[in-house]
Copies of this chain bind each other. A is one copy, B any other.
Amino acid sequence: MKLSKLFGKTTKEISDEAESANHRLLIQGGFVDQLMAGVYTYLPLGYRVLKKVENIVREEMVLAGGQEILMPALQPAENWKQTGRWEMMDDLFRFTSYYTKKEFALGPTHEEVLSPLAKKFNSSYKDFPYAVFQIQTKFRDEKRAKSGILRGREFLMKDYYSFHSDEEDLDKYYEKMEKVYDKVFDRLGIGKETYYTYASGGTFAKYSHEYQTVTSAGEDMIYICDKCKIAINKEIITDLKNACPKCGNKDLREETAIEVGNIFKIKDKFTKPFDYRFISKDGKEKPVLMGCYGLGISRLMGAIVEIYNDDRGILWPKEVAPYDIHLISLNSDEEAEKVYKGLQEEGFDVLYDDRDISAGEKFSNADLIGIPIRLVASKKTLAEKSVEVKERGKEKTDIVKIDRVSKELCDLLDKK
């Protein structure tokens, strides 16, 4: 992609509201545009990142055995009244059809749709366990939408639901999903910063578990046990007598963090209101139990920026970077164009800064956008049939012969 043609431009102007790094850098870098508080357009650069996060999550959910579906955002009020959440949730967007006078909710989650749906299909013990998931746009009437794409009124989520015939099976599945989640965070480059966190289980379980990514932009306070590499949400720390529930360690480290995912044994909380039961092996009717596993796709993108930034801009992990390579031409457009085309033919995704602006501006834009590798093609390097190679976040530059640059880039990007 040529930067001269890219829709969305880097900007130095930024609103005072942009307190968090992801808000500021994603707007300045031309990744997103804020339509209103908590509501964003993903521009081409940002859309590419969002899709990469989404695809990593999808791959792991399919490997876990989940079948992908797509449930509607528009949901009938009756389903929400059946579970009691219509009256309970202040942040549920509610409205009425002009024509039919029917009341709708705009889905912030999908238990109210999925439970009665699953009931139609799977009611024999032979059907269990099974799991479905979706990656879908959700809506929440946030009291105070802030922190960029970390907390939005409209956001992209992955919600995965497992169904079980008994608690033992649910427990086993839940443990499997913990490992799946660890892998997702590792692949996204935030494994080290993301803690499996004990949180309140609400009315139906002792605990739920959150995945909390340590960042100053977070709104939650967690207490980390460095021995077990787990954390406890502040909301239950006194219940746990200020000790790690695994090892009893009281030497906990306090950090602010953002909840990027949560997993929940919701058991029969949402199957019961819809009377979803199954016929067991011995012919008896029994309640269906559920596990629920959420991940905020757009929030993950924001969390990655919160972790990977410096005073110049973003440093995208290569797995989610919008492009592999940021190529800069310095007064050498014809030859740089050849390098650009050559790299694309070799299978690299290249953002090519072909604009008629100063070298300084090109360099600072490259740092702001944060693509893992910067290549500079100038009269000087090209005279030696070379380009300059630099990794984002490192100061060292290398001059590499053009006929060997592909090999060098594959090594840097772990590509084949």
Contacts and interface: CB of A to CB of B under 8 A. Distances in A.
Interface of A: 5-9, 33, 35-37, 39-44, 47, 50, 67-76, 90-91, 93-95, 97-100, 102, 104, 106, 113, 117-118, 120-122, 130, 132, 137, 139, 141-144, 153-154
Given A6-B67, A98-B141, A41 B113 contact: yes
B130 A5 contact: yes
A242 to B, nearest CB: 34
Contacts of A40: 72
A40 B70 CA distance: 9
A139 B107 CA distance: 13
B69 A43 contact: yes
A276 B157 CA distance: 34
A120 B33 contact: yes
Copies in the complex: 2
Nearest to A104: B93
Nearest to A1: B67
Contact of A69 (B41, B74, B91, B93): B41
Given A37-B100, A44-B132, A99-B141, 10 more contacts: A7-B121, A8-B121, A35-B71, A41-B113, A42-B70, A74-B139, A91-B99, A94-B95, A99-B142, A106-B106
B117 A74 contact: no
A166 B72 CA distance: 40
Most interface-central of A39, A74, A76 (chain B CB within 10 A): A74
A144 to B, nearest CB: 8
A67 B121 contact: no
12 contacts: A7-B118, A9-B121, A35-B113, A39-B72, A42-B70, A44-B67, A44-B68, A47-B68, A72-B154, A73-B137, A94-B95, A106-B106
Nearest to A38: B74
Contact of A153 (B74, B94, B154): B74
A91 B98 contact: yes
Contacts of A94: 95, 98
